[in-house]
Structures are given as structure tokens and as C-alpha cells.
Amino acid sequence: GSFGQVRLCWPHSSNDDRKFAVKVVDTKGAVYAHASSFISARQEASILKTVRHPHIVELVDVFEKERWLFLIMECVPGGELFAALSDPKVPVSEGCIASVGRQLLQALRHLHERSIVHRDVKAENILLLTNPAKTSRWHIKLIDFGLATRVEQQPVCLFQLCREQEVPIEQLICGTAYYCAPEVWTNDYNPKVDVWAAGVVLYVLLTGDSPLQEGEIKFFSDPGSAEKAQDVLAKALALNGNELDTACSKAVNLLRQLLVIDATKRVTAEQAIKHDFFDMEMSDRQLPRLSADPTQAIKRKTSFSSLSRRS
């Protein structure tokens, strides 16, 4: 998780074979000492208590002991989404990708209807409920609400916070920058930052790469480089050669509605769910096998790649 370690746990009773994931948070730790303006683990628990959705991880219980906060959540044993994509034993169809995209947007719609922004939608935060090798239709769960917040709360500007607290920005972002909508960097954003991130996830699902290349993020974080950012995005969404063979025209059209620099012109999760691409959920057309986990390619390209990802 963003601000804690996650471990497997189970009930003491020998008659209860259920397993759970427990996030263990040190509330006195260094991250909390410097990131007091960020959402606390207690607020993460508060938010999870208000949401119940088949594609959002369920919070089972929460309690504190001394300096430790424990969040008990359902166990999602199917593993990370992108691990399945690079597994040669797992068939991946166009319909499967459409199903995953729809489920993610449904989860985001549920959050946004409740004025909640996840703020950390990325490949690593999407898990599969069951073994992907045993079913052609995957059931996803959106996890890690460590950065989630309510819209009515004052947003946190990452750069300003890090300057004030003298904390390196990579300590808080940890490779997530490739999923950040342009408005995140200027502290002027709303639930559509999640829609942008969902677009990045779908782009990687379809092409095996990030829409932004090394060194291009700076154009999206600098308002003075808006024209250059637009050129970069247009090139990414042109999709040619092998990428066109992978991404169907309906998928490309959806990406062009999700990955829009001007947030006022970007679709909402509710609008995106109605896109024609999701009519292809029954398509059995196989997608090319990815040679490696695309999230690793993204991590290698990010300027924060020298840091190990925190659990």
C-alpha cells in the first residue's frame, strides 16, 4: 500500500479457513511525520467503510494497538492484473480487456458518485479475484486507498507539500507519475484524474507500453509546455504498425476520450462506460502475448526507477 505493509492473515479458529489481507500502518512513522496534510490511514478506513462494490476491495475491520493501525481487508488471491498478461498459460482476448476496462470504470463511477477520488489508479493497484488461467472472464478489484480523498476536501499539491516538508517527491509518488493527469501537478483537479489514469491502464493493456515516454512527463507537469504536451499525446494516440493490430478502432476512440489534457473535455467514468468498445466483451479475438510485464517497462522509464517500490 501507499503508506503501509500488507500481510496475509487468517482467523484463530480451526473451523474458519478464510484468509484476509491486513495493512499494518505505523502511525508514528517518518512518512506520517512529514505528510500530515495527506490522507491518513484512518481516513482510508473511513472511506472504505462507505463503499461497497464488487470491483472495490472490501474493508472487513479496522483497529489500533499502540502505535499500529490494522486494516483488515478481503484477500484477493488472483494476483496482479499485468502478471496475468505476461503469463503464457493465460489466454488474453480483446473481450477480456474490454471487461477489465468496464469493471475499472464501474468502480470509479461508484467512487465518484460518492464524491471520492482514488488518486492512485495504476496497474499495481488492480488485482484479480481468481486465478486468470482458470477462467476467460476476469473479475478485478481496485485496491490501495492510501491516497484517496473526498472532493470537498482541499487537494494537496505534491510539489508544494514536498518543498514545505523537505521530502523528496519520489518518496510520495514512487513511480506513479506515468498515471498522473496533467491537472494533478497544478493542484486543480477533480474525479477526472481517475479517468485519465484508467486511460493509461487501458493503453498499457492494449499496447504493452505507456503512452508517455521517458522525459515526456515534464511537458504535462509544466503549464507552459501545454502545446508540446498536446503534440506528445497526439503522437501516442496515433498508434501505428503493430500497435494498431493490437488496439481495435473502438478502443483507440475510447482512449482519445479518456486521455484528454483539458479535464473539462475529458469524459466522466459514467460517460466512458457507455462507449461502444465495451460491446466487445464477448469477443474471443486473441491479443498478442506480451513478452514481459509492461509495468516493469514503465518503472524502468520513470525518473524514480532507482527507488525500490514500497509495499
Give yes or no for a contact between 220 and 212, defined as CB atoms under 8 angstroms apart: yes
Total domains present in the chain:
1
The CATH code of the domain that includes 144 is 1.10.510.10
Question: Does the residue 131 lie in any domain?
Answer: yes
Question: Does the residue 183 lie in any domain?
Answer: yes
Question: Does the residue 219 lie in any domain?
Answer: yes
Residues 199-248 have pLDDT tens digits of 999 988 887 778 877 677 677 767 677 788 888 888 888 875 455 455 68
Distance between CA atoms of 311 and 23, rounded to whole angstroms? 10
Q: Which residues of the chain carry a pLDDT beneath 50?
A: 34-39, 170, 174-175, 241, 244, 291, 300-311
- From the centroid of its chain, how far is CA 15? 36
Question: Does the residue 7 lie in any domain?
Answer: no
Per residue in 31-65, is it b (16+ CB within 10 Å) or e — as a string? beebbeebbbbebbbbbbeebebebbbebeebeee
Neighbour count for residue 106 (Cβ, 10 Å):
18
Question: Does the residue 255 lie in any domain?
Answer: yes
Bridge partners, residue 70, by sequence: 24, 63
Question: Does the residue 264 lie in any domain?
Answer: yes
Identify the pLDDT of residue 296: 54
Distance between CA atoms of 119 and 195, rounded to whole angstroms? 10
Question: Does the residue 46 lie in any domain?
Answer: no
Bridge partners, residue 117, by sequence: 149
Give yes or no for a contact between 184 and 173, defined as CB atoms under 8 angstroms apart: no
Give yes or no for a contact between 207 and 236, defined as CB atoms under 8 angstroms apart: no
Mind telling me the catalytic residues?
120
The position carrying cell 522509464 is 301
- Furthest-apart CA pair in the chain: how many Å? 62
Q: Which of 205, 203, 223 is nearest to 213 (CA)?
A: 203
Sequence-ordered list of residues with C-beta below 8 angstroms from that of 157, at least 6 positions apart, any chain: 186, 187
Identify the pLDDT of residue 298: 54
Give yes or no for a contact between 146 and 59, defined as CB atoms under 8 angstroms apart: no
What pTM was computed for the model?
0.82
Question: Does the residue 308 lie in any domain?
Answer: no
Parent domain of 244: 76-301
